[in-house]
A = this chain, B = another copy of it.
Amino acid sequence: MLARVSSTPTSKRLPRAVREQQMLDAAVKVFSRRGFHAASMDEIAEDAGISKPMVYAYLGTKEELFVACLHREGTRMMEAIAGAAAPDLPADERLWRGLRAFFGFVGAHRDGWAVLYRQARGSQPFAGELAAMRARLVEVVAGMLDHALRAEGREVGETELEVVAYALVGATESLADWLADHPEADPEKTATRMMNVAWLGAGQLLHGATWRPPAT
């Protein structure tokens, strides 16, 4: 029965690197569906086609596993965005490409993205991790705005900039959620819509327009 060796390798004895990815895939899926707490290590293991102790052996405790998921997905996303928005393009072009890449990513990883992020928001252990990523995004956006502003000879307080950037990032995340909940929606179109809101609003600010509260 030597034939058996070369027959269907029924998912047996895979190298560590491969198994780790499978586990992460499964973990993302299960965490997404169930939420961090309700997800059980057993289910993740089963979904990965492996038994629980292997998960512990390779990826450690439940929290560590979740962080690993967050990390992988986050890195992938960042890379997708960074790869699209070359820093030597004009601001609107950069913004547009960045948004398109972002929504493209979310569209392709509907399962992964939204829920991981929705999850991570709440629970303390991961809030930090998530906040760091968001901070990087905010920084990038703020940098773009600042750059564009300086090009126009204007300048604006740091907090001011941060807040506007925060609002833009928030709006974008919100639309990402919307996209994740509307499977029929088109990422490209969503990106265009977001660009409309962001660029027109930001554009106004760039040109020095401001709204002031009425004297009540």
Contact = CB atoms under 8 A, between A and B. Distances in A.
Interface of A: 34-38, 92-93, 96, 115, 118-119, 121-124, 160, 163-164, 166-175, 177-178, 190, 192-205, 209-214
A167 B192 contact: no
Contact of A163 (B193, B211, B212): B193
Nearest to A114: B121
Contact of A171 (B174, B195, B211): B174
A154 to B, nearest CB: 14
A123 B121 CA distance: 11
A62 B196 CA distance: 43
Given A122-B122, A201-B200, A201-B204, A174 B170 contact: yes
- For the complex, would chain A's binding face be called helix, strand, loop or mixed by DSSP majority? helix
A205 B96 CA distance: 18
Nearest to A34: B124
A63 to B, nearest CB: 12
B211 A200 contact: yes
B171 A122 contact: no
A194 B204 CA distance: 14
Nearest to A164: B197
A201 to B, nearest CB: 3
Contact of A201 (B118, B123, B174, B201): B201
A174 B173 contact: yes
Contacts of A118: 121-122
Contacts of A209: 200
A185 to B, nearest CB: 9
A35 B35 CA distance: 13
B167 A193 contact: yes
Given A167-B197, A170-B173, A197-B164, A93 B123 contact: no
